[in-house]
A and B are shown apart, each in its own frame.
Chain A
Amino acid sequence: MNQPLQGQAKAWRLAAIGALMLAAGAGFAYSAGWLGPSALTPQRIIDTFEAQAGHYPGYRKNHSKGLCVSGYFQASGQAASLSTARAFTQARVPVIGRLAIGGANPFAPDTGIPVRSLAIELSTDDGQVWRTGMNNPPVLAVSTAEAFYEQVLANTPDPATRKPDPAKVQAFFATHPESAAFRQWAASYKPSDSFANTQYHSINAFKLIDADGNAHPVRWQLEPLTPYTALPAQVDDPLFLQHDLQRRLAQGPLRWTLRLVLAEPDDDIDDPAKPWPANRRSVNAGTLVLEQVDAPEQGACRDLNFDPLILPRGIEPTADPILAARSAAYSESFNRRSRESLSTGARP
Chain B
Amino acid sequence: MKPTVFHPVARVLHWSMAILILAMLFIGVSMVTDLSVRHPVLVSLHKGTGLALLVLVIARIIVRLSIPHPPLPQDLPAVQRLAAGASHLLLYGLMLAMPLLGWAMLSAGGYPRPLDLPAIAPHDVQLYAVLRQAHGWAGYLLFATVLVHVGAALMHAWVRRDGVLRSMWPGPRAE
Contacts and interface: CB of A to CB of B under 8 A. Distances in A.
A234 interface: no
30 contacts: A5-B159, A13-B158, A17-B158, A21-B147, A25-B147, A28-B143, A39-B34, A39-B35, A39-B36, A40-B35, A41-B33, A41-B34, A128-B116, A129-B112, A303-B110, A305-B109, A310-B112, A317-B40, A319-B37, A321-B36, A323-B40, A324-B36, A325-B39, A331-B32, A334-B109, A335-B132, A339-B132, A342-B129, A342-B130, A347-B125
A43 interface: yes
A1 B125 contact: no
Interface of B: 25-26, 29-30, 32-40, 43, 109-112, 116, 123-126, 128-130, 132-133, 143, 147, 150-151, 154-155, 158-163
A306 B60 CA distance: 38
Contacts of B158: 5, 13, 16-17
B147 A338 contact: no
Interface string A312-348: 0000010101011101110110110111011000010
B36 A145 contact: yes
Contacts of A20: 150-151, 154
A10 interface: yes
Nearest to A345: B126
B161 A341 contact: no
Dominant SS among interface residues on chain B: helix
Contacts of A127: 116
B159 A1 contact: no
Given A31-B26, A303-B123, A335-B129, 9 more contacts: A4-B159, A5-B159, A24-B150, A42-B32, A45-B35, A304-B110, A319-B37, A341-B125, A342-B129
B109 A42 contact: no
A327 B40 contact: yes
Interface string A127-159: 111000000000000000100000000000000
A145 B35 contact: yes
A338 B163 CA distance: 49
A14 interface: yes
Contacts of B128: 338
Contacts of B40: 309, 317, 323-324, 327
